Structure 1
Amino acid sequence: MGRTVRGAVPMTALVLGVLVSGCSSETKRTGADPEPRGGETPQARKAGPRDSGCALPVSFDLPPGWQATATAAASASADPERKEFSLVCELRTEDPPGVAPLRVWTAPTAGRTPEQALKSLVDGVTLRLKQSRYSSVRTGASPITEAVFTESPGQTDDEDITARAFAVGTPDGIVAVQLGGMGASEDPSALPAYELARKSARAGG
């Protein structure tokens, strides 16, 4: 006959106690640390509305972390070298702030199509225009004209500089967004920001 040891706990009770304890602590951890929502994306900002820092007769999206700021030229007369276009806004990342890779220009319609106005802008912002290509697309409710143009560098051993710009015509004038310059070549997020602006652009601030 086997001996009974007083105070001993049956093995099954020990196993059940460990399981219950583990489930309880797991439940507490789950309640204290909810699973992060990894699929959410911060809402994009807009340029164009009056409260955006860049009031325009068109509106378009900006990536998270980008900002639009009005320039001093927004209240000045048009630049003769830019064929009646005025530089009104600059678009750049907030951190770290640097040279603006995207620029926003406006010009009166004056009976011109967006393509005619865009050709004038491209002639005004380039010194050694090598080639250019224009195309018309429709994104949303607004027709858009885009230019992809190449400029010869100042030094013979440098590579050609490729830039882009698109224009939207509105009853209140023509708005053009230009991607180019040193800021565009140094910032890898510049081209995606330009593409987002082009795809989301529509008349109306």
Structure 2
Amino acid sequence: MRPAVLTTAAAVASLVAGLLLAGCADVEPLPEIVPGPRPTAAPAVKAPAAAPRRTVGGPGSGCALPVSFALAERWAPKAVEDPEDPEFAALTRQGPATVRCEVDAKPAGQVGFLRVWTAGKGSARAALEGFVAAERNTSAVVYRESRSGAGPVTEVTYTVRDEPAEESKEERAFAVATPKGTVIVHLGGLDTEEHRAMVPAYELARTTLRAR
């Protein structure tokens, strides 16, 4: 009986081997995988465009002025109503100048205004000197010449004595001559600390000033 068993086992092994060989012959080789190029740098991300600065002085800006300038963030311009009314001359006139516009710092969390005044044609220095001379209790008055986008300007810094409060505070202004007359931009403030905190808004106005 042993030779029969061996013969049968050999036949089965031969059959399995044949099937395996036949199956292997039918399998196609896998395609070669080639890695793609790796990025050498992160893709550039375009920064969002900065919002344009608000300006005051032109049509629809809150105040119609002979000049325009950029506003500090959240500062709010408003035209002075009827500044030529003689009944309110004590509030709307100072020396040769009449106030035309108030730019309020309160929306930005500060206490004070940039006020824009206009005077007749002539020397910016003379108009500014008359403006300061009409202010009561001034001291430490210093004038200097500087530049703006509208041309040469005269600047002044000074202190004003507040008698009821028994203290002094700093103030400053600049004046520029334009074809439509002299413009004076003045920065006050509740006190010296508030005034100094608002100087960047004043400098922004001076450096971006344009005649209209």
User: Aligned residue pairs: how many?
Assistant: 165
Could you tell me how far apart the structure 2 residues matched to 1:157 and 1:183 are? 12
1:71 partner letter: V
Q: Deviations over 1:41-72 (max 9, x none)?
A: 53211111122111111111112212211011
Residue 98 of structure 1 deviates from its aligned partner by: 7.5
Aligned-pair RMSD on alpha carbons?
A: 3.0
1:91 partner letter: V
Contact 1:45 1:61 in 2 (8 A): yes
Identity of aligned residues (%): 35
Could you tell me how far apart the structure 2 residues matched to 1:71 and 1:141 are? 23
5+ long unaligned stretches in structure 1: 1-34
Could you tell me how far apart the structure 1 residues matched to 2:100 and 2:193 are? 22
Residue 139 of structure 1 deviates from its aligned partner by: 2.1
Residue 191 of structure 1 deviates from its aligned partner by: 1.4
Contact 2:111 2:194 in 1 (8 A): no
Could you tell me how far apart the structure 1 residues matched to 2:67 and 2:110 are? 25
Contact 2:170 2:191 in 1 (8 A): no
Matches within 5 A, 1:1-205: 41-74=50-83, 76=85, 79=89, 82-93=94-105, 95=107, 100-109=112-121, 112-124=122-134, 126-154=135-163, 158=167, 160-182=168-190, 185-186=193-194, 189-204=197-212
The residue that corresponds to 1:10 in the other structure is none
Could you tell me how far apart the structure 2 residues matched to 1:127 and 1:55 are? 29
Contact 2:170 2:195 in 1 (8 A): no
1:108 partner letter: G
Could you tell me how far apart the structure 2 residues matched to 1:178 and 1:135 are? 15
Task: Look up the SS of the partner of 2:206 in the other structure.
Answer: helix
Q: 1:155 to 1:93 in 2, by over 3 A?
A: closer
Task: Look up the SS of the partner of 1:174 in the other structure.
Answer: strand
Q: 1:98 to 1:202 in 2, by over 3 A?
A: same
Task: Look up the SS of the partner of 2:139 in the other structure.
Answer: strand
2:177 partner letter: G
The residue that corresponds to 1:27 in the other structure is none
Q: TM-score, normalised by structure 2?
A: 0.66
Task: Look up the SS of the partner of 2:162 in the other structure.
Answer: coil
5+ long unaligned stretches in structure 2: 1-44
Could you tell me how far apart the structure 2 residues matched to 1:151 and 1:49 are? 32
